[in-house]
Amino acid sequence: MDTFALIVTIAVALFFTYTNGFHDSANAIATSVSTRALTPRAALAMAAVMNMAGAFFGTGVAKTVSEGLIETPSGSTGMGILFAALLGAITWNLTTWYFGLPSSSSHALFGGLVGGALAGGTAVHWNGVLDKIIIPMFLSPVVGLIVGYLVMLAIMWLFRRSNPHKAKRGFRIAQTVSAAGMALGHGLQDAQKTMGVVVMALVISGHETFGDPIPVWVKIVSALMLSLGTYAGGWRIMRTLGRKIIELDPPQGFAAEATGASIMFGTAFLFKAPISTTHVITSAIMGVGATKRLNAVRWGVAKNIVLGWFITMPAAALVAALAFGLVKLTVL
């Protein structure tokens, strides 16, 4: 296998992780910044550190990505499929970042993998795609919406006799913990997705076989690139999550972050399912906001976000298929 092709594919995978970091940094810190619980730079630094720590908490999601979605033929065809998949995901990340749309980097990657595999004539594990990607894609926002709503109701009941100003100060402090939990969960989920892609490249090139432990250097570079991307910040998307859906106060911000972090940890450890942190935190914000009153949520903005979720996988798949065609004409 051409070593140069392997190096280029891994480099592109790491660049995808970087775009994932700045695209999804808003997931962890937008609510804390919008409620002024943390300053933007302090929040980004905390999120970068916790993202890196989260990457070392498990490997179940990485194995799902590397082994459960598509076949990985050896040789230049397999590497071309992987390269095209990453191009599709990166293109979608940059496009949605430009428009400030909090779409899913994860589903952009999955769409890219499926599109690249179909264009390359290799098998797609449709059962795995359905069980690990499609069903969680629909369920996780629903769970986030309901749990966020219930958590906020519980907070409102528990603190119904508290001094509002003191309660808000307390929740502003508590948000440093909940934001850290979100960032840790993001690292646990999203760094592992890149680990899975790098492992696929190593298997295709003959340097690894499925079932081998993930090399430590793969964990380190994946975590590092995600952290660097996170620290770069995604201000366009942060404004959408922090302000455009609903104006959050500290108790609402804490409820949304605690909901998102709990769902991400639960799905990673219990089901090894690579869910979208974007879907979870956005739906949790909607659920929390709905406790105030239904029209407090800007449902028009929410509708545009959800529409973006539905087209993410097909759009990334289409770009990946076109990219594979180009790679096949020029390189393979």
How far apart (Å, rounded) are the C-alpha atoms in residues 127 and 243? 38
Q: What is the pLDDT of residue 206?
A: 87
Q: What is the pLDDT of residue 43?
A: 79
Structure tokens at 221: 């570079």
Per-domain boundaries in the chain: 3-330
Residue whose tokens read 């298929």: 321
Residue 1, pLDDT above cutoff 60: no
Mean pLDDT (the chain, rounded)? 85
Instruction: Write the CA distances from 16 to 5, 144, 198, 308, integer angstroms.
Output: 16, 26, 11, 19
**Residue 157: burial class (beta carbons within 10 Å; 0-12, 13-18, 19+):** exposed
* C-beta of residue 23 within 8 angstroms of C-beta of residue 97: yes
How far apart (Å, rounded) are the C-alpha atoms in residues 250 and 237? 20
How far apart (Å, rounded) are the C-alpha atoms in residues 1 and 254? 50
- Percent of the chain residues past pLDDT 70, beyond the cut: 89
Contacts with 274 (C-beta within 8 Å, 6 or more apart), sequence order = 61, 64, 65, 106, 110, 132, 133, 136, 189, 192, 193
Convert the pLDDT of each residue in 230-278 to its tens digit: 887 655 555 555 455 556 788 988 999 999 999 999 888 888 888 888 7
| Most distant CA atoms of the chain, gap in Å | 69
Neighbours of 72 (CB within 10 A): 22
170-195: average pLDDT: 89
Contacts with 232 (C-beta within 8 Å, 6 or more apart), sequence order = 18, 21, 22, 25
Convert the pLDDT of each residue in 145-160 to its tens digit: 999 999 999 999 999 8
When pLDDT is cut at 50, 70 and 90, the band that residue 202 belongs to is very high
Q: What is the pLDDT of residue 259?
A: 94
* C-beta of residue 59 within 8 angstroms of C-beta of residue 192: yes
**Given its phi and psi angles, is residue 213 left (phi above 0), alpha (psi -120 to 50 degrees) or beta?**
beta
pTM for the model stands at: 0.88
How far apart (Å, rounded) are the C-alpha atoms in residues 179 and 279? 16
Residue 299, pLDDT above cutoff 70: no
3-state secondary structure 6-18: HHHHHHHHHHHHH
Q: What is the pLDDT of residue 332?
A: 61
Convert the pLDDT of each residue in 11-61 to its tens digit: 999 999 999 887 776 666 777 777 777 777 787 788 888 888 988 887 888
When pLDDT is cut at 50, 70 and 90, the band that residue 143 belongs to is very high
Beta bridge partners of 170: none
Q: What is the pLDDT of residue 31?
A: 73
- Which among 260, 292, 298, 265 is positioned nearest to 279, based on CA atoms? 260
Which one-letter amino acid corresponds to residue 116? Answer: G
Neighbours of 266 (CB within 10 A): 14
Lowest-pLDDT range of 83-92, 126-135, 291-300? 291-300
Q: What is the pLDDT of residue 297?
A: 63
How far apart (Å, rounded) are the C-alpha atoms in residues 88 and 323? 7
Lowest-pLDDT range of 103-112, 237-246, 314-323? 237-246
6-13: average pLDDT: 94
